[in-house]
């Protein structure tokens, strides 16, 4: 799906580290309002591809565009200015600051770049939306790992994004917490008309909640379709050796 209506588009993006090709000519486009999952075995290049999509890593080949604006070679703050926010595998919160102060930082970073919905208008509203109002005065270091993941999502929302990149936000969570996180992600997409791209190792959970799945394997895109299409794809089944590849419920 490469077209002129994409909010974010990668055209034959490659990332090399010395002799290692981590991402190999991957093309993908993400339309406004889509909820897309990216899966793949360990070492498939998922996070490196995310790093390229958010300006953390500069592609060694290919082009990146946000709403038609060329972003190839741009720095992360330029991606953020285009409405692209992300989380990381290990939550990047300011541990010594209070939970509310972490959200404040995101709001200050955003400035007045975009009008915010009422539910994202201020720190209290964002904390309420992600379920952390009771923890507002605690240091970020004092809350649980699952709450730190929620806080990082709140910080990303505070920058008033149009597109949210989520890197393994369910990692380390209990089965119940994973399901709650997935529902929150879907609700945020629906409530704020976000485009969401979500990397996850919890494949079966992700498959139940996303509308489209990209599969990376050894740095290359081997499938791109609905969850039902992807779980039947012979290349995907082979890449996973059949593990985890079950029909989404």
Report how far residue 49's alpha carbon sits from residue 214's, in angstroms, rounded to the nearest whole number: 11
Non-local (6+) Cβ contacts of 20 within 8 A are none
The candidate with the shortest Cα–Cα distance to 6, out of 30, 27, 38, is 30
**Average per-residue pLDDT for the chain:** 88
Does the pLDDT at position 124 exceed 50?
A: yes
What percent of the chain is modeled with pLDDT above 70?
90
CB 191 within 8 A of CB 117: yes
Cα→Cα distances 66→55, 84, 147, 162, 225, Å: 12, 9, 30, 10, 22
The candidate with the shortest Cα–Cα distance to 86, out of 61, 112, 66, is 66
Q: Which two tokens stand for residue 75?
A: 């720095």
The candidate with the shortest Cα–Cα distance to 163, out of 232, 226, 81, is 81
- Strand, helix or coil for residue 43: coil
Segment 51-65 shows an average pLDDT of: 93
Give the angle 243-205-53 at the CA atoms, nearest 5°.
95
State which H helix or E strand residue 64 sits in.
strand 61-66
- Residue 82 pLDDT class (50, 70, 90 cuts): confident
Structural domains in the chain, CATH included, are: 1-74+196-249 (3.40.50.300)
The candidate with the shortest Cα–Cα distance to 98, out of 137, 55, 148, is 137
- Strand, helix or coil for residue 166: strand
Segment 161-181 shows an average pLDDT of: 89
Report how far residue 36's alpha carbon sits from residue 72's, in angstroms, rounded to the nearest whole number: 22
Does the pLDDT at position 4 exceed 70?
A: no
Does the pLDDT at position 112 exceed 70?
A: no
Predicted pLDDT of residue 128: 93
Q: Are strands 61-66 and 69-70 parallel, antiparallel or unpaired?
A: antiparallel
Q: How does pLDDT run across 230-241, given as a tens digit for each residue? A: 999 998 888 875
Does the pLDDT at position 115 exceed 80?
A: no
- Strand, helix or coil for residue 48: helix
Predicted pLDDT of residue 2: 44
State which H helix or E strand residue 214 sits in.
strand 212-217
Does the pLDDT at position 110 exceed 70?
A: no
Report how far residue 5's alpha carbon sits from residue 16's, in angstroms, rounded to the nearest whole number: 29
State which H helix or E strand residue 145 sits in.
helix 145-158
């Amino acid at each position: 799906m490469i077209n002129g209506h994409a909010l974010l588009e990668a055209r034959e993006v490659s990332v090399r580290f010395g002799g290692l090709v981590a991402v190999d000519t991957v093309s993908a486009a993400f339309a406004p309002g889509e909820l897309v999952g990216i899966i793949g075995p360990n070492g498939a290049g998922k996070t490196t591809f995310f790093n390229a999509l958010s300006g953390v890593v500069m592609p060694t080949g290919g082009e990146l565009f946000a709403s038609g604006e060329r972003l190839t070679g741009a720095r992360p703050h330029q991606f953020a200015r285009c409405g692209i926010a992300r989380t990381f595998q290990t939550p990047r919160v300011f541990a010594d600051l209070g939970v509310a102060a972490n959200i404040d930082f995101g709001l200050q970073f955003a400035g007045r770049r975009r009008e915010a919905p009422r539910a994202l208008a201020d720190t209290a509203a964002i904390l309420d939306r992600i379920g952390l109002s009771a923890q507002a005065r605690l240091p970020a270091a004092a809350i649980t790992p699952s709450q730190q993941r929620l806080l990082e999502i709140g910080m990303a929302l505070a920058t008033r994004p149009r597109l949210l990149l989520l890197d393994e936000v369910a990692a380390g969570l209990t089965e119940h917490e994973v399901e709650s996180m997935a529902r929150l992600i879907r609700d945020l997409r629906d409530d704020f008309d976000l485009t969401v791209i979500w990397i996850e190792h919890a494949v079966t959970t992700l498959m139940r909640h996303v509308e489209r799945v990209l599969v990376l394997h050894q740095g290359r895109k081997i499938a791109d379709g609905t969850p039902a299409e992807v779980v039947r794809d012979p290349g995907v089944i082979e890449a996973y050796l059949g593990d985890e590849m079950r029909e989404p419920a």
